[in-house]
Each structure stands twice: as C-alpha cells, then as structure tokens.
Amino acid sequence: MLKLLKLLKDGRFHSGQDLGAALGVSRAAVWKQLQLLEAELNLPIHKVRGRGYQLATPLSLLEESAIAELFQGEQWPVLIFESIDSTNAQALRSISEGQAAPFLVLAERQAAGRGRRGRQWVSPFAENLYYSLVLRIEGGMRQLEGLSLVVGLAVMRTLQAFGVAGAGLKWPNDVLVNNQKIAGILLELVGDPADVCHVVLGIGINVNMQVNEQIDQLWTSVRRETGVAVDRNKLVAALSQNLQQDLQRHRQSGFAAFQAEWEQSHLWQGAAVSLIAGVNRIDGIVLGIDRQGALRLEVDGVEKSFSGGELSLRLRDDS
C-alpha cells in the first residue's frame, strides 16, 4: 500500500491504468488496494470516472533521506515505520535488541499511542508527528533533572519557527496554544538512573490534522493555527536540530541554564491552579519552577515544590 500512497501523495488525479502500470498490477488489484487504504488508514479517496483517483488531501510522507538532507547537525540513525503500536514502545524494544543510542524512531501511524498517565494519544496516518529519541545517560540523576522541560522548550521554539506564534508551555509536559493542546511529551526510562540508563524522549505534535472526533480535550494543530500544510520531514529536521543543541547545553550546564527562559514561556505563570495527585488535590498559585524543574506553588501563603510523573495541573475556575 505504501507504494500506491507514494504515487497518490501529490493530491492529483491518477488513472487506474497508470497506477497499475507503475505498480505492475492489474486495475482490479489497484481498486482493491485503494479500498484497503480507505478502510485501514481512513484516507478519503475521490474516484471520478474519466479522471481516475485522487487523495482528498495531499500527504507528506516521512523519508529518511529527506530528513538527513534537511538536518544540519550530527546525524542520528532514523527508524521509520508505516504503522506500529507506539514509537516509545518500539524505541524500548530497539534498546533491548541492542540498538546503539542515540537513535530516532518515527511512525506514520500509532495503533496504541500513549500520553502521560496512561492516556491515549490519537495518531491518524501521516497527519501528525510521532517522534521518539533515545539517549544513553551516564553520570547519574543530574543528567535527568528538568529534562522533559528542556524538551518542551525545544518543541515550543520549533513550533514558533513554523508560524505558531502563540505556542507556550504548561508544566510539566504540554505545549498549548490558547489553552488548546498542540503537543505533548512522554519520557520513559530503562536501566539504572543512578548509573547508566537509557531515556526515551517521546514527542507527539498535532501537525496537519484538522478534524478528529476521537480527542476528548481541547486541541489544535500547526495547520489549524497557520492555515498551511507542513512538510513533516522539515519539522523533524528542525526539531532534531533544536533538541541536539539544547541537550548539549543541558549536559554542560544542567537545567538551571533553562530555568528563566522556561518560566517566561509558562502560560500559567501566576495563575490559580489545582495540582492533582491521584485522589488528592492541592490548590495554589503558580510561582514558577526551581533549578531542578519542580513546580513552585504558593499554598496557603507558604511556598512548596512538587515534582513527579503522575501529577496533573489544572486551572482553577476562579483563576
């Protein structure tokens, strides 16, 4: 099916005869593949007698060669999948199989995409970015301090460079535009964090998606914000370049080097919020973050710090 998609991705009409000749199959076989594309990948295809077949929307498919050509930094090995459970899950499998870090896992579609706290990450085919970067971490816990927040800054700057001027951060791992989610980050660790381990930096970005009824929260995408379809290969290259620079700075200087910039980009700075931890709820005012990336709240007139992967931050109704 991928060969057929590459022929159709320009969004123009192609006759069944021409498609069959290019693929070396009959017109009937082309018709069956087109039906599979619609059914399995949910890709609407226009069928017009005398003109042929046309994707309802042109596609930008991920290509390792295109990413390598656009990327100016140190090249990372890139593994691209048409469809997998999730890029983070594949990254963890690749680590266990001996793949040397750093390396990057990308997918056109995720069947079981995951967000924080076990939430589903809706992952339609070839519309968004499903990106997992694997790093080998040596030197103990200091190398992990504030790492997810550093990744958030890199994602935010990348989106701003692609025209999403209103992109900002929400502690700990979300990028929002007008309180609508455009990107999320999920870090997963394997190994001994006190010695040598691997960390998977999972990033999901809504890129060209315009309609999706499966998502149960406010969301937006780069295309919704800019009105322009994005070449996802360019986005991968730009994001990878920003990450490479910021991760090097983080290794050298720690999270303290990013603290002020992160606070300036925090959309909920000074807001009245509720911090949810399981069944517990803590109300406070956001003061900022500390040098390790923990959230600083004023709670009943006292400053307290909070960190942890299972915490959720929400705006209070009176904010």
Give the active site residues.
116, 181, 314
Binding residue per annotation — 251? no
**Distant-in-sequence contacts of 191-195, Cβ < 8 A, 24+ apart:** 191/137, 193/137, 193/140, 193/141, 193/144, 194/140, 194/141, 195/138, 195/140
Binding residue per annotation — 288? no
Binding residue per annotation — 248? no
Binding residue per annotation — 12? no
Could you tell me if residue 287 is left (phi over 0), alpha (psi between -120 and 50 degrees) or otherwise beta?
A: alpha
| Close Cβ partners of 137 (under 8 Å, ≥ 6 residues apart) | 143, 144, 191, 193, 196, 197, 198, 199
* CB count in 10 Å sphere of residue 9: 15
- Interhelix angle 16-23/27-41, rounded to 10 degrees, is 90
**b/e per residue, 208-233, with b = 16+ CB within 10 A?**
bbeeeeeeeeebbbbbbbeeebbbbb
E-strand stretches of 3-151:
45-48, 52-55, 78-81, 103-107, 129-138
Please tell me the distance from the alpha carbon of residue 262 to that of residue 249, in angstroms, as a whole number.
14
282 neighbors 273 (Cβ within 8 angstroms): no
Please tell me the distance from the alpha carbon of residue 41 to that of residue 37, in angstroms, as a whole number.
5
Specify which residues 199 forms β-bridges with. 135, 189
Binding residue per annotation — 206? no
Tokens 């994001």 belong to 239
205 neighbors 164 (Cβ within 8 angstroms): no
Residue 166, amino acid: G
* CB count in 10 Å sphere of residue 266: 20
Binding residue per annotation — 181? yes
Which residues make up each annotated binding site? 86-88, 110, 114-116, 181
Which residues make up each annotated binding site for biotin? 86-88, 110, 114-116, 181
